[in-house]
Structure 1
Amino acid sequence: MRGHTDEPQTPTPGSAARTVGGITAIAVLALLAWRYPFAVGAAAVLAVVLFMHEFGHYVTARAVGMKVTDFFLGFGPRLWSFRRGETTYGLRALPLGAYVRVIGMSSSDAVEPGDEHRAYRVKSYPRRLLVVCAGSLMHLVMALVAYVVLHAALGAPALEENRWQVAEVMSQRDGVTLPAGTAGIEVGDRIVGVNGVVTEDWNAFVSQVQARPGESVLLEIERDGARLATAATLAADPETGRGLLGVRAAQAVTYETAGLPTATARAFADLGQAMVDSVRGIWSLFVNFGDVIDRIVSPPGDPSANDDLGTRPLGVFGIVDLASDTSWGWSERALMFAMVNVFLGVFNMVPVPPFDGGHVAIATYERWRERGGRDRYFSDPRALAPVVAVVVTALALLAIGLLYLDIANPIDL
């Protein structure tokens, strides 16, 4: 369906096809949301993140007097649009982000004579920098807000020394049925006693369980600050004869909140550290590119694909998969939201086109050529076309490779 105009419009086969396509896309999304609510929710949040990136460009471009002709949510075939003033707003079939079109982004772009004064290329150096950096700034703002909410409301996760909690509940192992799956034990529980014996220490717990194969035991569990009890009949390891319950452990996590002033200070500290970590991660990606490729081409189920998370990049599918893990709480999701935003903001400033950092580099080079009161200099975009082609191709191949890696060898945190 087309947007409203002053003149009545007659439906066309193209508009009907877009309407059908839009209805189909909505139906598919609704079906996926019903079947995989967390995954679709995580994907929707990621789409909003990319939308807000472009919204930053849109707002700042309008604010400094540039002409914005298009602002669309999604990519691919147009489903719906309307024109308000000089800008066409709309929705496209694939909700994987957004894009904004500003006139005169390069010296070769055709611009109407009456609009030349509103083209990106004729604006001052500070205004051009503001517009091209606005997307990354939006990522940092979103990350900062998430960190504040994390510290002030949700609680920042912190590992506890010498305390453990259940990280996985198993129903079977090597053909042996394990009682943990039917005993009501949940991920995040702390089993603090077995038959009255205190098991705050993991080794003490293991000793108590292994010494009682086939016995019915009373487990004391700590969950969300409350104590409860459950009974379980322990299985026996067919090889060693030792008792088995069926849980894996991880270091215990507590969630700490603070007042708004302290939470804000901690949020800024976290933001700074995340920016440093992102720069290091990007540098590691290039320095250890051979290791990255080895992981991408690893066969399904290869344990070496995830043996070093420092050189194991995560793609969009992997991010959505982790964020949709039902064992994660809102604190973990808020932390990932913040970290992903920081990384996107920093990565987008790599000084190579077509990244926004490439536009910063071009604008800075043009400014340098104008030093000493020289005439305005416009770089030739044709000289950078091969660089853009190489970068886009590399990113496409990397995205495909990471999609395979995330599916064939998913990270299990």
Structure 2
Amino acid sequence: MNTIIAFILMFGLIVFVHEFGHFIIAKKTGMLVREFAIGFGPKIFSIKKSETLYTIRILPMGGYVRVAGDDPEIIELKPGQHIGLTFNDQQKVQQIIINNKAKYPNAHVIEVESADLSHDLIIKGVLVGEEQLMSYPVAEDADYVMDETATQIAPYNRQFGSKNKRQRAMQLFAGPLMNFVLTVILFFILGAAQGIPVEEARLGEIQPNSPAETAGFQTGDEILSINDQSISQWVEFQAIVRESPEQELTMVVDRAGEQQELNVMPRTEQIEDITVGQIGVMPYVEKSLAKAIPFSITETYEWSKMIFESVIMLVTGQFSIDMLGGPVAIYDATDQIVQTGFWNFINWTAALSVNLGIINLLPLPALDGGRLLFIGIEAVRGKPISSEKEGLVHFIGFALLMLLMIIVTWNDIQRLFM
């Protein structure tokens, strides 16, 4: 149960931050946000505030911000169609009632001659039973009502496509950007709470009943050499220990300005089917809010670099698609990490957040990076690619991504349960 809760909270936070980035820029640039959703599938909770429906859906594996213009507007008034109209205090159309008009006795029922709900915001028609053609101005926040469900119209100036290239690019980039911001914040919290590991080979916590404790090591000892090999960095010390299971090592340490010689034999540990040596020590850490800031940025950069290099290796065929992990693998890893402690879980959340940010920036159809690529092409050629062609590319890309997700999930199941 703890793992399930942690998994939902982790993905909920990462997805919320990502979608909030899209949402806030859409709002700031005047786009109509129809829905802010966490999860996919059937709704388990929804509330409408102002013009946006906020929903939580049953599958906590993603989310979306539905902006007007992302999909074709579904309202289309045809000549000869009978509709009902209600009006606001300014005598502008506030509701366009498509069916079940009998349930709105105060509505004016007209026969449509023409309508423009994108630019001019006007409906022309004749009151049923009369002959005079009338023009009805439509409010920008008018609703059309189908099956007694109201949906706000989207004038062109409220649609995604009406904004300039910079505004559209900002709206798309804001989601991944917020994932990087979340990662920096989480690493800052980690650095401030747990301390910043120093670069030199200085020992921090000594684990009870470990080879290091038995050999007499103490917190604060600085390793100067191992088997007469000079040591200056923690990574050098760690590498030699890991490569020397069950081999006695002679270490010279600096303890409060005095040098001492200690002998220790690393015990054998199995880490992901690899045999390594360990003596049971942690690196020395310094607790400093000032140092936590550069630490958080450095960690975010290092994780970003590692993920980007992994993507390059996948593209160039240096490792197989079978090595990719999907939702099942992430859940299994989360289960193991939750058992190791809260701070490891925070580190894992930060890593997944930056991962989501980078993956979404890849120039692949249906991802933010793919849509940014189309804006870039538009900037180069001086005009946009037709919405039909772009929509088809994104549809095919989404289908291929879903296929990849199915393959990766099946690989996870085989690897973990078969």
Scaled to the shorter chain, the TM-score interval is 0.5 to 0.7
Separation in 2, partners of 1:140, 1:155: 21
Q: How high is the sequence identity, in percent, across the aligned residues?
A: 24
> Of Structure 1 and Structure 2, which has the larger fraction of its residues in helix?
1
Give the corresponding residue for 2:57: 92
Q: Does the 8 Å CA contact 1:72/1:100 hold for their aligned counterparts? A: yes
Asked whether the 8 Å contact 2:196–2:292 carries over to 1, the reply is: no
CA 1:139–1:316 in 2, change beyond 3 Å: closer, same or farther?
same
Deviates more, 1:131-140 or 1:69-78: 69-78
**What's 2:89 paired with?**
none
What displacement does 1:145 show?
Answer: 0.3
Rounded to whole Å, the distance in 1 between the matches of 2:291 and 2:335 is 30
For structure 2, the 5+ residue unaligned runs are 76-116, 119-139, 141-154, 219-225, 227-240, 249-266, 271-276
TM-score, structure 2 as length reference: 0.60
The alignment partner of 1:274 has SS state of: helix
1:347 equivalent to 2:347? Answer no
| Contact 1:165–1:188 under 8 Å retained in 2 | no
Can you give the 5+ residue segments of structure 1 that lack an aligned partner in the other structure? 1-32, 167-186, 209-244, 297-311, 371-376
CA–CA distance in structure 1, aligned partners of residues 370 and 299 of structure 2: 27
The amino acid that maps onto 2:407 is G
1:324 matched to 2:335? The reply is yes
Alignment of 1:82-161 (within 5 A): 82-105=47-70, 109=73, 112-113=117-118, 114=140, 115-155=155-195
- Asked if residue 260 in structure 1 is aligned to residue 271 in structure 2, the reply is no
Q: Report the TM-score when normalising by structure 1.
A: 0.61
Q: Which residue of 210, 224, 234 maps to 1:190?
A: 210
Aligned-partner residue type, residue 40 of structure 2: F
Pair 1:155–1:42, CA change in 2 (3 A)? farther
Displacement of 1:367 in angstroms is 2.6
Report the structure, 1 or 2, having the larger strand content: 2
Q: Structure 2 vs 1, CA of residues 409 and 70 (structure 1 numbering), >3 Å: closer, same or farther?
A: same
How far residue 89 of structure 1 moved from its aligned partner, in angstroms, is: 1.8
Q: Contact (CA 8 Å) 1:155, 1:331: kept in 2 or not? A: no
- Checking the alignment, whether the CA contact within 8 Å between 1:159 and 1:253 is kept in structure 2 is no
Could you tell me which of 28, 31, 37 is aligned with 1:63? 28
Q: Which amino acid aligns with 1:48?
A: L
Match of 1:74 among 12, 24, 39: 39
SS at match of 1:100: strand
SS of the residue aligned with 1:348? helix
Matches within 5 A, 1:187-266: 190-192=210-212, 206=246, 250=278, 252-254=281-283, 256-266=285-295
Q: Residues 178-221 of structure 1, C-alpha deviation per residue, up to 9 Å, x if partnerless?
A: xxxxxxxxx98624467xx769998999589xxxxxxxxxxxxx
Which of 135-144 and 394-403 deviates more?
394-403
Where has structure 1 moved over 6 Å in runs of 4 or more? 157-166, 197-205
- Sort the Cα spacing of 1:86 and 1:165 in 2 relative to 1 into closer, same or farther, 3 A: closer
**Matching of residues 289-300 of structure 1 within 5 Å:** 291-293=319-321, 296=322
Larger Cα Rg: Structure 1 or Structure 2?
A: 2
Relative contact order higher in (CA < 8 Å, ≥ 6 apart) = 1
**8 A contact 2:191–2:287 mirrored in 1:** yes
Choose which of 277, 293, 315 in structure 2 pairs with 1:286. Answer: 315
Letter in 2 for 1:274: W
